[in-house]
Structure 1
Amino acid sequence: MLKKVFSIALLVFFWVASSFWYFIPEAQAFTEEQKLLLQSWRIVNQSYLDETFNHQNWWKVREQFIKNPLRDREETYAVIEEMLAGLDDPFTRLLRPEQYHSLQVNTSGELSGVGLQINVNPETKLIEVISPLAGSPAEAAGIEPKDSILEIDGVDTQTLTLDEAAARMRGTVGTKVSLRVQSGRDENAQPRTVSLIRDRISLNPVVTALDTTTNNKVGYIRLNQFSANAADEIAQGVNRLEQQGAEAYILDLRNNPGGLLQAGVEIARMWLDSSTIVYTVNRQGALGSFDSTDDILTDDPLIVLVNQGTASASEILAGALQDNHRALLVGEKTFGKGLIQSLFELPDGSGLAVTVAKYETPSHKDINKLGIMPDNVVAQQAITYSQIATEADQQYQTALKLLTSQENVVANAA
């Protein structure tokens, strides 16, 4: 098995400075600013997925940028960002100390803001919504996956990095932020201005309930994000539902933007018996895998709900359950993010997010920009947070109907 590779915010690789300087002649002195630039360059040199570096001579890039005067830390950051921009990869980026800290908090605690997970669309270069977080101001305002954020408080987002855009939307609870939003569902729709009041965004990743409205008792599990405690909460939730007599399960991954890859792998292991969960491919084409064992929580029938906001680690979990015939997928095609980033901490408390690998589902499907097609496609207009898992939720109701016949679910999943 390939050494564990993690998505954004999963693992911080602490870089030992002494290991970096072995190839530099001792007589050659560098300033602290140059050292930070060179360390950033070397991390990318050793780890970046595209060994052509976007068809650049990476050594020449090093020589070009080390000539900059770098009079202070801000100048160094600007030069590092300029160097990384040449890769034309929005996921490989510098995180200033405050941004780096916010990214860590985003997977382990809570934050205040509007509750949007965002991405840079690689084709349009616009800030694009992966999904609104459940119960957030953004969800309440009707912002949907694939919508584009054109402006934040009047600032054109094409002039902002991904992290700068996220920072502008975060802020003190009770303060207002204005977003100019272009619909992702209707390209002909005129952009609209949405005024949001920032709120405390809970990152509690798991919600469970027992549905007794059908012939079978169905355990409902909604996973909002793959945070550090998601796997433990899933395990506790399933155990409670088993004690309550659950005979089948609905796992809701809709509008789940991902998070920690390892959390996705651990949750897949709770449902899959001795199966491959995901393959990872590095820039040398080396194929590694994460596999499950035989220690599962339950073998009851399972249906997974997905939509356009199901992304990254969510797609890894959904793809593993679908390809191994453990679950049926119901809903809409997923987002299509099949790249893996690692975080590298720099000595001054900043960090680099670097695309280090791509993943394939157990049947070797590369879903990047393509997404995963569910077994049962059920289109659905946006519903509110309070309407999830109710009669207004057509995708949930479809899953319930499928689960009324255990034989039907097993036959379709086999």
Structure 2
Amino acid sequence: MRPSILAFVPLALVAGAAKTTLAATPLAEFKDSPKVVIDEAWQIIDQEYVDGDFNHVDWQAVRQELLGREYSSQEAAYTALRSALRRLDDPYTRFLSPTEYADLTDQTSGEISGIGVQLERNDQSGVVLVTSVTPGSPAEQSGIVVGDRILLVDGQSTERLTAEGVLQQLRGSEGSQVTLTVSRDSGASRTVILTRALMDLPTVEYSQKTVGDRSIGYIRLIEFNAHAAAQMSAAIRSLSDAGVEGFVLDLRGNPGGLLMASIDIGRMWLQHGAIVRTLDRSSNDETISANRTALTDLPLTVLVDGRSASSSEILTGALRDNNRATVVGTPTYGKALVQSLHGLNDGSGLTVTVAHYYTPNGTDISRRGITPDVAIALSDRQRRELFSNPALLGTEADTQYLRAAEVLEQTILASERQPEAGASRLGRVTPAE
């Protein structure tokens, strides 16, 4: 069983524009035509795409070809646009339908309008179960608890729906109502009417743990949304106040998100030094650095895997290249591109690759990722068991976490032997095997 969590293609997103300056053809020429969105998307690519040669594609000819056709529907125009974008051979520059665009903006905003539950479908019984309830949410206020079965949503059976499909039905505009039929412990069903509310998506989980006789902080960052930095700050401060001696930062399975979130979080761990360097198609070269606002200089270990991508790699690269953390796990995804997100005229959207990024040492991690200082892999079975039950992450059942905790303990010991050096200046620790 696996909780249904909305995921998205690995991205490091910068803020896009809801409107784009259109130079070649006035929108009025295509009024009420599917060509409006095609021309709008084409011009965004023309103005912003990172490769000025468009992968050796005649981009002007593509425009003439697209606008020279007649489209029987908006969906037909979407299909033609997707086909044109594939010619760029860039999986991160992509068209988003209105539903996909709304999902992605919800995800990156860190807010969603719903009732405040996470769900999973039980593999054995086939029922959709509540796996968590957000405190203060409409679900909690109506008496829904973990373990409840969701039988009907607005009178429609959940029997043939995935957990994600049920979640989609539970979402809707703030203030709108949804009717649920639920049961508990195989008892009689009951029907409740809930009013949807806007809620923050939790993206940081943390707890205080013990390794040896030392107290450490475990922080899991699920993605880099608009609330990630605030939640990370709260986690670091809370664990520091509790007296931890170091941190394990878990970025496994984190597909990325907002570029600025990775920078803000990097500044919480780094007092000085570069965080990331970006280069756009006009050769504008920008290095973004720490700004002496670190919240802690306690020893740090970072956990990564092959699904740690984009913004996760930006943060990992910054901490590693500045000798701030030891990286443990398996090589990361290897995605070194930055996208801009744009809303289009009809509610659809576009993600556009606008820059390459490099780690502070100038490393291009494209297609190879970041190789950990301390390698430890999970078997396929271990991975399935851990990530189908995230409550096991950061526990005795998680061998990668146990290795990271061991590395952190050795880093803490090293800092005690060299107190004048300061924990944040000790460099990476690669323990003996």
Name the TM-score, length of structure 1 as normaliser: 0.73
Q: Distance in 1 between matches of 2:315 and 2:157?
A: 33
Distance 1:30 1:177, change over 3 A: closer
Deviation at 1:355, TM superposition (A): 1.2
Deviations 1:188-212 (A, max 9, x none): xxxxxxxx78665994111111113
Distance 1:359 1:138, change over 3 A: farther
- Kindly report which structure 2 residues correspond to 1:133-144, keeping only aligned pairs within 5 A, or say none: 137=120
- Kindly report which structure 2 residues correspond to 1:283-298, keeping only aligned pairs within 5 A, or say none: 283-298=281-296
Q: Distance in 1 between matches of 2:282 and 2:332?
A: 28
Match of 1:109 among 79, 98, 111: 111
Q: Where does residue 98 of structure 1 map in the other structure?
A: 99
Distance 1:262 1:7, change over 3 A: farther
Match of 1:13 among 11, 14, 17: 17
Q: Which amino acid aligns with 1:400?
A: A
Deviation at 1:110, TM superposition (A): 5.2
Deviation at 1:247, TM superposition (A): 1.3
Deviation at 1:14, TM superposition (A): 2.2
Q: Distance in 1 between matches of 2:105 and 2:319?
A: 28
Q: Distance in 2 between matches of 1:32 and 1:313?
A: 38
Question: What is the identity percentage for the equivalent residue pairs of Structure 1 and Structure 2?
Answer: 36
Distance 1:80 1:25, change over 3 A: closer
Deviations 1:11-42 (A, max 9, x none): 231224xx314x5599x944443333222111
Q: Distance in 1 between matches of 2:260 and 2:232?
A: 14
Distance 1:176 1:246, change over 3 A: farther
| Structure with the greater alpha carbon radius of gyration | 2
Contact 2:324–2:427 at 8 Å: present in 1 too?
no
Q: Distance in 2 between matches of 1:397 and 1:8?
A: 29
SS in 2 for 1:88: coil
Q: Distance in 1 between matches of 2:157 and 2:373?
A: 41
Q: Distance in 2 between matches of 1:342 and 1:58?
A: 19
Contact 1:176–1:197 at 8 Å: present in 2 too?
no
Q: Which amino acid aligns with 1:64?
A: E
Q: Which amino acid aligns with 2:53?
A: T
Q: Where does residue 129 of structure 1 map in the other structure?
A: none
Q: Structure 1 segments of 4 or more deviating over 6 A?
A: 138-141
- Structure 2: give runs of 5+ residues left out of the alignment: 1-9, 125-155, 169-199, 416-422
Name the TM-score, length of structure 2 as normaliser: 0.70
SS in 1 for 2:414: helix
Q: Distance in 2 between matches of 1:60 and 1:357?
A: 24
Distance 1:101 1:299, change over 3 A: same
Distance 1:305 1:340, change over 3 A: same
Contact 1:173–1:199 at 8 Å: present in 2 too?
no
Deviation at 1:286, TM superposition (A): 2.6
Aligned-residue CA RMSD in angstroms?
Answer: 3.1
Q: Where does residue 414 of structure 2 map in the other structure?
A: 408
Deviation at 1:412, TM superposition (A): 4.6
Contact 2:211–2:406 at 8 Å: present in 1 too?
no
Deviations 1:258-292 (A, max 9, x none): 11111111100101112110111212333212211
SS in 1 for 2:256: coil
Q: Distance in 1 between matches of 2:40 and 2:22?
A: 7
Deviations 1:358-392 (A, max 9, x none): 21111111112111001111122314223222222
- Kindly report which structure 2 residues correspond to 1:13-32, keeping only aligned pairs within 5 A, or say none: 13-16=17-20, 19-21=21-23, 23-24=24-25, 29-32=29-32
Contact 2:19–2:344 at 8 Å: present in 1 too?
yes
Contact 1:303–1:327 at 8 Å: present in 2 too?
yes
Q: Where does residue 44 of structure 1 map in the other structure?
A: 45
Contact 2:14–2:338 at 8 Å: present in 1 too?
no
Contact 2:275–2:287 at 8 Å: present in 1 too?
yes
Match of 1:335 among 312, 321, 333: 333
SS in 2 for 1:401: helix
Contact 1:277–1:291 at 8 Å: present in 2 too?
yes
Contact 1:111–1:200 at 8 Å: present in 2 too?
no
Q: Distance in 1 between matches of 2:332 and 2:122?
A: 18
Deviation at 1:77, TM superposition (A): 2.1
Q: Which amino acid aligns with 2:428?
A: A
Q: Which amino acid aligns with 2:17?
A: F
Q: Which amino acid aligns with 1:56?
A: V
Match of 1:353 among 346, 351, 354: 351
Distance 1:199 1:98, change over 3 A: closer
- Structure 1: give runs of 5+ residues left out of the alignment: 1-5, 113-134, 142-171, 179-195
Distance 1:309 1:173, change over 3 A: farther
Q: Which amino acid aligns with 1:109?
A: E
Q: Distance in 1 between matches of 2:409 and 2:350?
A: 48
Q: Distance in 2 between matches of 1:20 and 1:265?
A: 31
Aligned residue-pair number: 337
Q: Where does residue 162 of structure 1 map in the other structure?
A: none
Deviations 1:150-182 (A, max 9, x none): xxxxxxxxxxxxxxxxxxxxxx9945568xxxx
Q: Distance in 1 between matches of 2:26 and 2:257?
A: 40
Deviation at 1:397, TM superposition (A): 1.4
Q: Distance in 2 between matches of 1:372 and 1:77?
A: 36
Deviations 1:286-341 (A, max 9, x none): 32122111011000010111111111111111111001100000111111111111
